[in-house]
Structure 1
C-alpha cells in the first residue's frame, strides 16, 4: 500500500514542478526581439561613427591636408577654365553675328559701285532735260519729241533706281543735314530761314538709306 502512494506522490510532484517551470519562463514576442536587435545595431553604428570621427582639437594628418589643398587648387582651376569657356563661347557668337551682318551688307550693297557709275548717266540726262528751252519746243516738233524721249528715259531710270533701293536726294527748302548734304556755299537770302537749303547744285543719292553721294547744296546764311 505504501509503494503505490509514493508513486502517486512522485507523479504529482513532477507535474507541479513542470507547471511552475512553464509559468516562470519569460515570454518574448518576435516584435520585441526585432526591436531589440535594431536598437543594438544602431548603438553599434553610433559607436563606430564616434570612433571614426576625429576628436575635437585633433589635428589632421599631412596626407589629408595635402588632399584638401589639392582639391582647393583643382576647384580654382575648374572655375577659371569654366570662365574661359563661357567667354570663348560668347566671343564666337559675336564673331558669328558680325560675319552674318557683313554677309548681309555685302549682298545688300553689292551694286554700290555700279550705281555710282549710273549716277553719272542720270546727271547727264537731267542736265539735258533742264537745258532745253520751253519756247523752242513750241516751234520745233522734232526738239519736243527728243525732249519727251529724254524725259521718259530719265523717269524710267529713276524707277529702276527705286526698285533697287537707290533714292534721289533733292533737299530744296529742307534743313541742312551734314549727314546727307555737302555745303558748297552759304549766303543770306531774304524770305528764307537761315540753315535751310536754298540751292541744289547736284542731287545726292542713298542706297538702302546709306549715302553713296551727298547732295551738293547752297545754304541760307543769317544776315
Structure 2
C-alpha cells in the first residue's frame, strides 16, 4: 500500500513540480522514486514467483502421493486377481483329476471281490484236465481283474501294495495291529491284509497292514 502511494506521489511531482522549487530536485526525486518503484516491483514479482513455485511444489507432492497410492492399490488388485485366477485354475484341475474318486471308491469294492475270488481258488484245482469249468471261470476272473487294473491305471488309480519290510508310512498305510514278528525290523510292514489305492498320487484308500514291533 505504501509502495503504491509512493509511486502516485512520485508521478505527481514529476509532472507538476511545486512553485519556486529547484527544477533539478523534482527530477532527481522522480528518478529515485522510479528506481525505488522498480526495485519494489521486482521484489513483488520475486515474492509472487516464489509463492507460485511453492504452490506448484506442494501440488506436485500431492499428485505424487496420489499416484503412489493409486499405483499401490492397482498392484494389490492385480496380485489378488492373479491369486484368484491361480486358485480357480487349480480347483478346475483338481476337479478334473479327483472328480471320479467317489466312483473309484465304489469300484474298489468290486476289485477286492475279484481279487479274493481268484485267491480263494487252490492252484492245484485249477487244471483243464481235472476241472475244465473251474479253469475257465478262474481264467475269466483273472482277465477281468487285469482289465480293471488297466482301466484304473488309465485314470490315475494305482494299487498300493507295500512289500514286506517296507517302512510304515501313516500317509499310505493304516495299522491294524502291532506285533513282534521274527525277521522283521520294528516299524516295518509285516503283513498286508488289504491293499490300498492312490489316485494321481493322493492316497484314496490306505493299505491295511500289520506292523512289526520290538519283542
Q: What's the TM-score once normalised by structure 1's chain length?
A: 0.69
- The alpha carbon displacement at 1:180 in A equals 0.9
Deviations 1:18-63 (A, max 9, x none): xxxxxxxxxxxxxxxxxxxxxxxxxxxxxxxxx69848xx9943x6
Name which of 147, 152, 174 aligns with 2:138.
147
RMSD: 2.3
Number of the residue aligned with 2:3? none
CA distance in 1, matches of 2:104, 2:49: 83
Number of the residue aligned with 2:92? 103
Number of the residue aligned with 1:156? 147
For structure 2, the 5+ residue unaligned runs are 1-41
How do 1:166-177 and structure 2 match up within 5 A?
166-173=157-164, 174-177=166-169
CA distance in 1, matches of 2:167, 2:66: 61
Deviations 1:142-181 (A, max 9, x none): 2222112111111111111111211000002211111111
Task: Pick the structure with greater CA Rg.
Answer: 1
Number of the residue aligned with 1:207? 199
Where has structure 1 moved over 6 Å in runs of 4 or more? none
Name which of 97, 105, 109 aligns with 1:116.
105
**Secondary structure at 1:219 match in 2:** strand
For structure 1, the 5+ residue unaligned runs are 1-50
Q: What's the TM-score once normalised by structure 2's chain length?
A: 0.71
Query: Aligned pair 1:129/2:118, yes or no?
Result: yes
CA distance in 2, matches of 1:141, 1:192: 41
How do 1:1-223 and structure 2 match up within 5 A?
54=46, 60-61=50-51, 65-138=54-127, 139-173=130-164, 174-223=166-215
Number of the residue aligned with 1:41? none
Q: How many residues align?
A: 170
**Secondary structure at 2:210 match in 1:** strand
Deviations 1:113-140 (A, max 9, x none): 1111111100010111111122333443
Deviations 1:70-108 (A, max 9, x none): 332222121111111011111111211221121122112
CA distance in 1, matches of 2:60, 2:49: 19
